[in-house]
Amino acid sequence: MKKIAVLTDSGSGISQNEANELGIFALPLLVMVDGKTYQDGVEIQLDELYAMLTDKKHPKTSTPLYQSIENILVKIKNLGYTDVIALPLTSGLSSTFQSISIAAQEANINLHLIDVYSTCMIQNHCARLAQKLVNENKEVEDVVNELNRVIGVSNTIILPNDLDYLKQGGRLTPLAASLASMFKIRPVLQLNQNVLGKIDVLSKVRTDRKALELAIDTLDETFKNHKVRIYIIHSAADERCVMAKELLISKGYSEACISIHAIAAVIASHTGLDCLGIQFIVE
């Protein structure tokens, strides 16, 4: 009989304590600041990272050490698991996806590697859903199929305020960032399966309000006939969150399906502060 483990990473925002409570295995990604390397969520916490961003520091991030990935897969196998459903940060933004694939071969364990084509609460949602289905004794193939179904009908819209962080991290070209700043343009970015989990410019507008309206209209076109879960994610952008929630409710979305969350530390390292994101995923 198969015994299935669920593995994710700290891009999901799932803490080590939460992972333990849920029965999920979570790999800490790495954050580098001022020449020091920290395990995300273990050696550096969200509030500490946000404080560093407030001090205008520019953290860098990295995939976990390969040995750490192999070690957790060996641990999973030694605990009696036969299969691992892995839901790392999208392969479009991180090499963790590929590292898990290689390490699973070394650990000699059955791997079901799923690209969420996103991060933060989409990744979080999928990891929790996977564990829920495993707890219900679903077959591994059924779990994988359900995850791929919801991922295929999900989307993330990102509304950054400080483009320097995206530029430095290589997520936005220097020219695009410079032109946006020069002409006071607000880029509306997307992250989904259609763009293979890579940050792509959806549109450019002049004001924050127009950017937010465009983001919600874009999502509404796809999801208005679906039962959805809506995650508003942000890095110290409380006022923008309130505006986003009000606009979503005005579109007819129930307040019960909307929740607000902080952007995970390893992701905020690339977005900077005052970044707003809206994530839709079908239920």
pLDDT digits (tens, 9 = 90+) for 121-141: 999 999 999 999 999 999 999
Whether 25 and 91 share a structural domain: yes
Are residues 127 and 167 both part of a single domain?
no
Asked if residue 259 lies in contact with residue 248, where contact means CB atoms within 8 angstroms, the answer is no
Indicate the SS3 state at residue 56.
Answer: coil
Q: Domain of 141?
A: 4-152
* Domain final position from 135, 152, 169: 152
Residues 279/155, Cβ–Cβ less than 8 Å? yes
Burial of 25 (0-12, 13-18, 19+ CB in 10 A): buried
Of residues 84, 72, 153, 157, the one with CA closest to residue 114? 84
Instruction: Mention every residue, 6+ apart, whose C-beta is less than 8 A from residue 137.
Output: none
Asked if 164 and 243 sit in the same domain, the reply is yes
pLDDT (tens digit, 9 = 90+) per residue, 131-185? 999 999 999 999 999 999 999 999 999 999 877 766 666 655 554 555 556 556 7
CA distance 200 to 123: 18
Final residue before a domain boundary, out of 132, 152, 172: 152
Considering the domain architecture, whether residues 11 and 141 belong to the same structural domain is answered as: yes
Query: What pLDDT score was predicted for residue 185?
Result: 78
Question: Residue 164: what pLDDT?
Answer: 72
What average pLDDT score do residues 4-15 get?
A: 97
Domain count, the chain: 2
For residue range 67-79, what is the model confidence (pLDDT) as tens digits?
999 999 999 999 9
| Interatomic CA distance for residues 190 and 277, integer angstroms | 9
Beta bridge partners of 40: 44
- When pLDDT is cut at 50, 70 and 90, the band that residue 36 belongs to is very high
Q: What pLDDT is stored for residue 181 in this prediction? A: 60
Same domain, 172 and 259: yes
pLDDT, mean of residues 251-274: 94
How far apart CA 166 and CA 92 sit, in angstroms, is 14
Q: Is the dihedral of CA 245, 151, 118, 3 positive or negative?
A: positive
Site of tokens 């690209």: 115
- Whether 126 and 165 map to the same domain: the answer is no
Interval 44-52 mean pLDDT: 93
Residues 51 and 138 grouped into a single domain:
yes
pTM of the model: 0.94
Q: Which amino acid is at 259?
A: S
Judgement on whether residues 101 and 139 belong to the same structural domain of the protein = yes
Find the mean pLDDT for residues 13-17: 94
Longest Cα separation, the chain: 61
